Chains A and B, each alone.
Chain A
Amino acid sequence: SYVLTQPPSVSVAPGQTARITCGGNNIGIKTVHWYQQKPGQAPVLVVYDDSDRPSGIPERFSGSNSGNTATLTISRVEAGDEADYYCQVWDSSSDHQVFGGGTKLTVL
């Protein structure tokens, strides 16, 4: 089955840029989606189809995907961005949805 690998944690100071990676075999040919989950809440879609944002998601959230790594970039990080972030793809070979292990973003 397809495996997505994320760093367990990323730390960044307010106002700086956070980059959260999602590694997978040739992930660049798949479309990647990203979710933000704050404690005690359900996940929220923040980026879909590699780099598109749902309505209501700030432009500070962006995504890219190439080769074996997809990246969620959060510019001008705010305290309210502190959360767990998950990447997700559809594995066409099994018709399964696959999530990464999640990354905890800490705002210093």
Chain B
Amino acid sequence: QVTLRESGPAQVKPTQTLTLTCTFSGFSLNTIGMCVSWIRQPPGKALEWLARIDWDDDKYYTTSLKTRLTISKDTSKNQVVLTMTNMDPVDTATYYCARIHSNRYYFDYWGQGTLVTVSS
């Protein structure tokens, strides 16, 4: 059974760095083709893809946020970490992690999401 769960602070202040952790089970990021992405959704708005990390440690970032994002993995812990620097109120959103295969390109399993509010 595949599960993913996001964790991190519910609130951060403007200019701070956000660190989110995705803890997963039921698959391994050591398996060829396995990848994990982060996706966010501001309240009442659409989904926005942020980043992806692959089994071979290749990393991809959305162009508009590339300078602020870092994605990494700890395969021994079955975790993927996303950091976002210089947080702003417009970054207030629910952040999801999701599994994706490198040759299928759809998200077949999602975490429940974690709401992050940026406010002073």
Question: B112 — nearest CB in chain A belongs to which residue?
Answer: A42
Question: A30 — nearest CB in chain B belongs to which residue?
Answer: B105
Whether A96 pairs with B60 at a CB distance below 8 angstroms is yes
Complex A-B: 26 CB contacts under 8 Å: A33-B105, A33-B106, A33-B107, A35-B47, A37-B47, A42-B111, A43-B96, A43-B107, A43-B110, A44-B110, A45-B106, A45-B107, A48-B104, A48-B108, A49-B104, A86-B46, A88-B107, A96-B62, A97-B37, A97-B52, A97-B100, A97-B107, A98-B49, A99-B39, A99-B47, A101-B46
Chain A residues near B106 (CB-CB < 8 A): 33, 45, 48-49, 88
Interface size class of A (residues with CB under 8 A): 20 to 34
A99-B104 Cα distance, complex, nearest whole Å: 15
Check A23 for interface membership: any CB of B closer than 8 A.
no
A97-B46 Cα distance, complex, nearest whole Å: 14
Known: A43-B96, A88-B107. 5 other contacts (CB 8 A): A33-B105, A43-B110, A96-B60, A96-B63, A97-B105
Chain B residues near A33 (CB-CB < 8 A): 105-107
